[in-house]
Structure 1
Amino acid sequence: MSIQILQYEFLGPIPLDEWGPPMEKLVFLVMSRDKDRFNILYVDDCEKTSDKSFFVQHSGFKCWIEKSGSEKLLYLAILPLFEASREHRENVLNKIKMHYNPPCNAGEIVEPKPDYVVRKSKDSTEKFSCPCCGSDMKAEQFLEKSTLYRCSSCGISDTKLNS
């Protein structure tokens, strides 16, 4: 079973009391079940644990119980990210926190860093005409593998791969 959160495919949800170690390099969601719906209460990442009482001893456990009403209504969903860096996991966390605003993560929301690199515009020697009006297109942004051009007359934009 899996659940889609933003563009990420999480495994679960499973009842929290059915969880068993180990966990390594993943993002996890603690959710409460309300009939046919799951509400995200808390999101975090885990570098590594083999402790069976990881969730019961977690600092957020009391909040999870308060928000769900019962330990039996708590569920766990995980997103394994074995090859991902700590920074990537934090970026996933921040995106989920910003979009869902989990009540037990209150005050932890940080702007996520973009997954791409934007370079400042510089004069481009390549010139080409606007497909709409025929005016010159001017380089507006240089990205890692492409350049964004904008027409000075009609405002249409176009992207070209860098060679």
Structure 2
Amino acid sequence: MKRKYSKIHALSIQILQYEFLGPIPLEEWGPPMEKLVYLILSRDKDKFNIVYLGNCQKTNDKAFFVQHPQYKCWIEKSGSEKSLYLAILPLFESSDDHRENVYKKILTHYKPVCNSSEIVEKKPDYVVRKSENTIPDPEQISCPCCGAKMIPEKVLEKSTLFRCTGCSLSDTKLNS
């Protein structure tokens, strides 16, 4: 099968450790396209911003991009059709799983604005909880150095950090 990537081969752009062919104006693209990850870029003077990241198994449809469900988002974020560019990462010899893995790495790192519905925010594996213990009454704590009043500076889970209003000495007290 003949692949039409001749216009794209002239330039390349590096995204993470992957070298994408292009970018070329999106309107210059022509089928076929097979087993690749692609970027829709918005050109802003000498800079390209990733607007959308896609994964293509195979297409011969010339209208592949203009009929894409996110096409309106691409135009909205780039300002016009003339600002849209295409870069591709051919993965002919790779498995579908490998292509999907590359796609997910780039998606997670760059979070393209028109892929926002696909981006899953990773939840932390810890929980921050407020201490149920009471903070010692600062009126009753005196500085062991100068005798001035100690005020709470930071409440931690099991203790409170106090700072002296006189000599700036700090002291930690367990919350009771």
> Which residue pairs with 2:20 in the alignment?
10
Q: Does structure 1 residue 84 correspond to structure 2 residue 101? A: no
SS of structure 2 residue aligned to 1:77: strand
Counterpart residue type for residue 23 of structure 2? P
Larger radius of gyration: 2
Q: Distance in 2 between matches of 1:107 and 1:18?
A: 28
Counterpart residue type for residue 9 of structure 1? E
Counterpart residue type for residue 48 of structure 2? F
The number of aligned residues is 111
> Residue 2 of structure 1: CA displacement?
0.3
> Which residue pairs with 2:56 in the alignment?
46
Structure with greater strand percent: 1
> Which residue pairs with 1:20 in the alignment?
30
Q: Distance in 1 between matches of 2:39 and 2:120?
A: 17
State percent identity of aligned pairs.
75
Residues 113-152 of structure 1: pairs in structure 2 closer than 5 A: none
Q: Does structure 1 residue 70 correspond to structure 2 residue 91? A: no
Give the alignment's TM-score, normalised by structure 2.
0.62
> Residue 6 of structure 1: CA displacement?
0.2
SS of structure 2 residue aligned to 1:75: strand
Counterpart residue type for residue 104 of structure 2? N
- 1:2 and 1:11 in contact (8 A); partners too: yes
Stretches of structure 2 that go unaligned for 5 or more consecutive residues are 1-10, 122-176
Q: Distance in 1 between matches of 2:19 and 2:115?
A: 21
Q: Distance in 1 between matches of 2:37 and 2:62?
A: 17
Q: How large is the RMSD of aligned CA atoms in angstroms?
A: 1.1
Stretches of structure 1 that go unaligned for 5 or more consecutive residues are 112-163
> Residue 109 of structure 1: CA displacement?
2.6
> Which residue pairs with 2:147 in the alignment?
none
> Which residue pairs with 1:101 in the alignment?
111
Give the alignment's TM-score, normalised by structure 1.
0.66
> Which residue pairs with 2:150 in the alignment?
none
SS of structure 2 residue aligned to 1:107: helix
> Residue 110 of structure 1: CA displacement?
5.4
> Which residue pairs with 1:36 in the alignment?
46
